[in-house]
Every structure is written in structure tokens, then in C-alpha cells.
């Protein structure tokens, strides 16, 4: 697939996802036949607090099970529901192909949550060795809560992609000359193309 086709395909996927995020089915997703919610801020925070391996690049049977249990539409699961999910996962892990597909699907589920994360074009990339004054997601919850009169804990139950889309809209309408970079996945496609072109000409 050419660079242009890759870019256009991903751009179309993001544009469609933006509509789906606010559709009547925008809360739900599917991971290898398992119905789940799109990753919410609350679920992401819970998984981070448990140092889930799917978030830090260390996938394992336990981290996948923990992830699927947390994003399941049946969360919190009872003992029977947990047993059914564990059996499905055990069957998937009997096949290396199926387990690889499952890991890929979960990573795509996570990536989708962050496609809309706002990145200012005029932001600083300078490394800062100080701890941040406020956790990034808290800023997003505060911005949306203040704008729409919602308690931050209610905002946390929204899908991340909705939160980030609204956060971008708020900043564009309230901050003069605020510029937002296009989604990172699209910038990565461009960068890959430019590197390949430079190597071919070098």
C-alpha cells in the first residue's frame, strides 16, 4: 500500500471513529468477539493503578484477563462471568495466532482511545525532570466538568475518545490562536514516508 493510501485509509478511520464516538453505539466495542466498553478514563486509571501490562508494553495472560474484565460491559463480573471469560481466554491462548490477534485487538482498543488526544502545535517538547503538578487526565476531567457542569467522577465514566474530542473543542473555542497537531498516528505515517524517501535519496 502506498504512503498516500495508508494516510487516506487511517484518516478515514479516524473521521469515522469521531462520528461513532458520539453515536448511540459509541460506548461499545468488540475485542475478538467479546463485547466491551470503549476505554473510559475511570477504567484507564484503574488499570494504571494496577500497573496493567497491556498499558506498559508487557502483555501476559494475567494482564489481558485483567484488562478484559475491567472493560467488559458486565463489569464488575460475578464469579460465573469471570469463569466464562477465563475459559475464552484459555482457548485463545492455546493458539499462538489467536493470542497474537487478541493482543493486537487490545492494543488497537487502547490506541483508539488516544487518537483524539489534543497536542498543541506550539507546545514545548523540552524534557522536564520535575513531577507534573497535575496528572494529565485530571486536567481533561476538570476542563470538561467545568464547561458542562459535570462532576469529574461523572466525566471519568465517559470514553477517553469523547473526553479528548470535547477537550479539543473547548480549547479551540476558548484559547486564542490555539493550534492542534493532527493525530499522532497520521504524523507517524508521514514521518515513516519521509525517512524512507530520505534513505532512498541518500
Encode pLDDT of 36-95 as tens digits: 999 999 999 999 999 999 999 899 999 999 999 999 999 999 999 999 999 989 988 888
Q: Cβ of 93: how many Cβ atoms within 10 Å?
A: 14
Distance separating alpha carbons of residues 63 and 67, to the nearest angstrom = 6
Q: Cβ of 136: how many Cβ atoms within 10 Å?
A: 9
C-alpha cell at 62: 494475567
pTM exceeding the 0.75 threshold for the entire prediction? yes
Please write the tens of the pLDDT for every residue from 105-151.
999 999 889 888 888 776 544 444 555 556 789 999 999 999 999 99
Please report the pLDDT score of residue 145 as a whole number: 96
Contact present, 53 and 103 (Cβ < 8 Å): no
* Strands 28-31, 34-37: pairing kind: antiparallel
Is pLDDT at 8 greater than 90 in this prediction?
A: yes
Please report the pLDDT score of residue 126 as a whole number: 40
Is pLDDT at 33 greater than 70 in this prediction?
A: yes
Q: Determine the straight-line distance between the first and last CA of the chain, rounded to whole angstroms.
A: 23
Q: Cβ of 32: how many Cβ atoms within 10 Å?
A: 17
Amino acid at each position: 500500500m502506498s504512503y498516500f493510501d495508508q494516510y487516506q485509509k487511517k484518516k478515514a478511520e479516524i473521521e469515522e471513529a469521531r462520528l461513532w464516538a458520539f453515536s448511540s453505539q459509541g460506548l461499545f466495542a468488540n475485542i475478538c468477539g467479546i463485547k466491551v466498553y470503549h476505554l473510559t478514563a475511570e477504567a484507564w486509571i484503574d488499570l494504571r493503578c494496577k500497573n496493567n501490562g497491556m498499558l506498559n508494553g508487557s502483555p501476559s495472560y494475567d494482564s489481558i484477563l485483567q484488562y478484559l474484565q475491567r472493560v467488559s460491559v458486565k463489569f464488575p463480573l460475578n464469579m460465573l462471568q469471570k469463569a466464562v471469560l477465563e475459559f475464552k481466554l484459555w482457548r485463545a491462548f492455546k493458539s499462538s495466532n489467536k493470542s497474537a490477534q487478541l493482543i493486537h485487538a487490545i492494543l488497537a482498543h487502547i490506541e483508539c482511545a488516544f487518537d483524539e488526544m489534543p497536542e498543541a502545535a506550539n507546545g514545548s517538547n523540552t524534557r522536564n525532570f520535575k513531577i507534573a503538578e497535575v496528572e494529565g487526565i485530571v486536567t481533561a476531567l476538570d476542563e470538561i466538568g467545568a464547561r458542562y457542569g459535570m462532576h469529574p467522577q461523572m466525566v471519568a465514566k465517559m470514553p477517553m475518545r469523547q473526553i479528548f474530542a470535547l477537550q479539543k473543542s473547548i480549547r479551540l473555542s476558548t484559547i486564542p490562536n490555539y493550534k492542534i497537531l493532527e493525530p499522532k498516528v497520521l504524523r507517524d505515517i508521514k514521518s515513516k514516508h519521509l525517512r524512507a524517501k530520505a534513505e532512498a535519496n541518500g
